[in-house]
Amino acid sequence: MAFTVLIPARLASTRLPNKPLADIAGKPMVVRVAERARSSSAQTVVVAADSPSIVEACAAHGVQAVLTGVDHPSGTDRLAEASRKLGLADSHVVVNVQGDEPLIDPALIDAVAALLDGAGDAVMSTAAHPITSVAEFTNPNVVKVVTDARQLALYFSRAPIPWWRDGYADAIASLPTTAPLRHVGIYGYRCDFLRAFPLLPPAPLEHLEALEQLRALWHGHRIAVHVTADAPGPGVDTPEDLERVRRLFLP
């Protein structure tokens, strides 16, 4: 199955300025992400950048990049523009790999693409893995997802879901008997929906939870969820995260 990986990259970051260009063992982080994506089955890997400096850094390392607008409110909007500039067909599958995931598993990229290709009534796909600690389950920075019998998303939340009514009468001291799932921020789209998504009115639940994917559910669309046994490698949000990842690239 032919699919394209698009990697959104923007210079502005409140916690880590110029994040896409942060050095990791001699290469910019966004280049490290692209190299991991190239190890997947993707036909093409393209960085969607908001700055010529990112495009130039990618070119210096042989990575294809396309310059997009600077005022996009989200990475999804940026990828919608990139998909148009690249002339991708409406039925073509795009996988959105975040530009701060230099340890992304190429097999996970393939799984998200394949899931969407086989899920006829889903317009998006994503991934999740089992949560194994109470601290992670109760952390609002950890996004949870619950699915139906066909592994289609029912809801995403920062709250601890599913709620164990009989087990949490006093406090959350253990995990539910059905393992909760942590959402992994990787998405597959068919290009027609990728380009239509930014035009959908934002949803009230999206604003409350600060989770963009709830817009799709609010408007009646389906999101297929690939459940993997293992957590992905650490992403980079802060200077501390960057140092942690840099150590992993040391020989």
- Is 215 within 8 Å of 206 (Cβ atoms)? yes
- Whether 173 maps to a domain, the answer reads no
Is the peptide bond preceding residue 162 cis, with omega within 30 degrees of 0? yes
Strand partners, 182: 129, 144
- pLDDT, one tens digit per residue, over 59-86 is 999 999 999 999 998 899 999 999 999 9
pTM of the model: 0.94
How far is 67 from 151, CA to CA, in rounded Å?
A: 36
CA 62 – CA 65 distance, rounded (Å):
9
Would you state the structure tokens that stand for residue 28, as one six-digit string? 């910019």
Domain extent, residue 84, equals 3-126+182-217+234-245
In a domain, 146, yes or no: no
The DSSP string of the chain is: --EEEEEEE-S--SSSTTGGG-EETTEEHHHHHHHHHHTSS-SEEEEEESSHHHHHHHHHTT-EEEE--S--SSHHHHHHHHHHHTT--TT-EEEE--TT-TT--HHHHHHHHHHHHH-TT-SEEEEEEE---HHHHH-TTS-EEEE-TTSBEEEEESS--S--TTT-SS---S--SSPPEEEEEEEEEEHHHHHHGGGSPPPHHHHHHT-TTHHHHHTT--EEEEE-SSPPPP---SHHHHHHHHHHT--
Q: Is residue 139 one of the residues assigned to a domain?
A: no
**What CATH number is attached to the domain comprising 92?**
3.90.550.10
The rounded mean pLDDT for the chain is 94
CB 151 within 8 Å of CB 111: no
Under the banding of pLDDT at 50, 70 and 90, the label for residue 186 is very high
Residue 251 lies in a domain: no
Residue 173 has pLDDT above 80, yes or no: yes
Residue 142 lies inside a defined structural domain of this protein = no
pLDDT digits over 212-231, tens only? 999 999 999 999 999 999 88
In a domain, 208, yes or no: yes
Buried b (16+ CB within 10 A) or exposed e, 70-106: eebeebbbbbbbbbeebebeeebbbbbbbbbbbbbbb
Residues 95-112: tens digit of each pLDDT = 999 999 999 999 999 999
Could you give the CA distance from residue 212 to residue 34 in angstroms, rounded to a whole number? 24
- 94, part of any domain: yes
- Between 19 and 1, whose confidence is greater? 19
Task: Say how many domains are in the chain.
Answer: 1
Residue 210 lies in a domain: yes
